[in-house]
Structure 1
Amino acid sequence: MDGEHEIQKAYESILGHDFQKAIEWFEKAIAVEPDNAAYHYKLSITYARSNKLHKAIDHATKAAHLEESSQAYKYHLQILHARALVEEAQYHVNEKEEHPEKAIFLLKEAIALDPLAIEAYLILGEVFAKRHDYHRARQTVLEALRLEPDHELAKQQLDLYERQMK
């Protein structure tokens, strides 16, 4: 027996915007075929879309280990790790720590894992600005705008940092 019926039900749930039910169906498919990397990968994506990042990482890790040759599974896991680093950095920023080096380190690591992580650039720019390092804040936001030229928040941050530099 395979888990294809459960996978179809999971997709139906996704089409109905019932992501919790989709998670349940993906979990049932995995119960039928625990070593099916594709099922773990699909569940990981659904967990990530449901903001359950740690569970997403767990299943992405399982998928990558089950099918070590899959670059897609490895890349997906890398992107999830980058998101986790951004979340951790945001926590440090929100805690108003006097020494933002931890947040800077985490954000640079996130960008290394996912060079397209616009949010990481924007938060990094904020951290530099809080240190009154408006030149680095500006450079960081310019990098975000290079990736996404019409990003409104990045444009606003750039304008703010340029005004601060004057």
Structure 2
Amino acid sequence: MMKPEDYMQQAYRCILQNDFEQAIRWFEAAIHAHPEHAELYYRCSITHARSKHLLPALEYARKAVELSEGTEEYRLHLQTLEAKQLIIKAKLLLEQSAKETSKPYVEASMLLQEAIRLDPLSVEAYVMLALAYSDLNEYRSALQVLQDAILLDPQNGQLQQMLQETKQRMRSMQ
């Protein structure tokens, strides 16, 4: 029987050749052979996440955290994935929302606040939260969130532009 490291070596060979699907198969074979090895779940989760397979990535990340009894690196990875999932849910709410009701915006803003708590470096979550606040006419909150995003990504000109547009909308409402 192959050792976990042998499987990982095969998986990394595939990753270097940009064959992420084959790498996932190697990680999953390793997990099948060594079901109590937390790092295999973690590495498989990362590869799934890079391939935009969020649900299996979350599943493997949860198992890695469980098996490792909360290893910090694994826990942070799981939180980042959970934040991504919340961002996707919020996006769907905002896209489906009808203008006459504020309920989807309120719900989306709550999901995005949680996403930021889980992954405080997600500029995307800050931007979407600012948009949701703007749509709720909560311009002060939108400005604060945009300023936080600018601190994370000071070179992003679009954030500066959004900040100026939000300030203008706020002035026009006064």
TM-score range, shorter chain: over 0.9
TM-score (normalizing by structure 2): 0.89
1:24-56 Cα shifts (integer Å, max 9, x gaps): 111111111111100000000011111111111
User: Which residue of structure 2 aligns with residue 27 of structure 1?
Assistant: 28
CA distance in 1, matches of 2:159, 2:22: 36
- Quick check: 1:37–1:62 contact (8 Å CA) kept in 2? yes
The answer to whether 1:36 aligns with 2:37 is yes
Q: How does 1:132-147 map to 2 (within 5 A)?
A: 132-147=137-152
| Residues 3, 28 of structure 1: 8 Å contact kept | no
- Partner Cα distance (1:69, 1:129) in 2: 38
CA distance in 2: counterparts of 1:5 and 1:134, whole angstroms: 55
The TM-score with structure 1 as length reference comes to 0.93
The corresponding residue for 2:73 is 72
- Matched AA of 2:59: D
Is 69-78 or 112-121 further displaced after alignment? 69-78
Distance 1:69 1:58 in 2: 15
Equivalent residue letter for 2:156: H
Question: Identity of counterpart residues, as a percentage?
Answer: 38
RMSD: 1.3
Q: Which amino acid aligns with 2:145?
A: T
SS of alignment partner, residue 150 of structure 1:
coil
* Long gaps (5+) in structure 2: none
Tell me, yes or no, if the aligned pair for 1:129 and 1:161 is still in contact at 8 Å: yes
Partner of 1:142: helix, strand, or coil? helix
Q: Name the aligned partner's letter for residue 21 of structure 1.
A: Q
Aligned pairs, number: 166
Pair 1:83-2:84 in alignment? yes
State the distance in 2 between where 1:48 and 1:69 align.
19
* Alignment partner, residue 131 of structure 2: 126
Of residues 159, 163, 167, the one that matches 1:158 is 163
Alignment-mate amino acid for residue 80 of structure 2: I
Measured in 2, the distance between the counterparts of 1:158 and 1:21 equals 44
Deviation at 1:69, TM superposition (A): 4.5
Partner of 2:94: 93
CA contact (8 A) 1:83 1:110 kept: yes
2:51 aligned with 1:50: yes
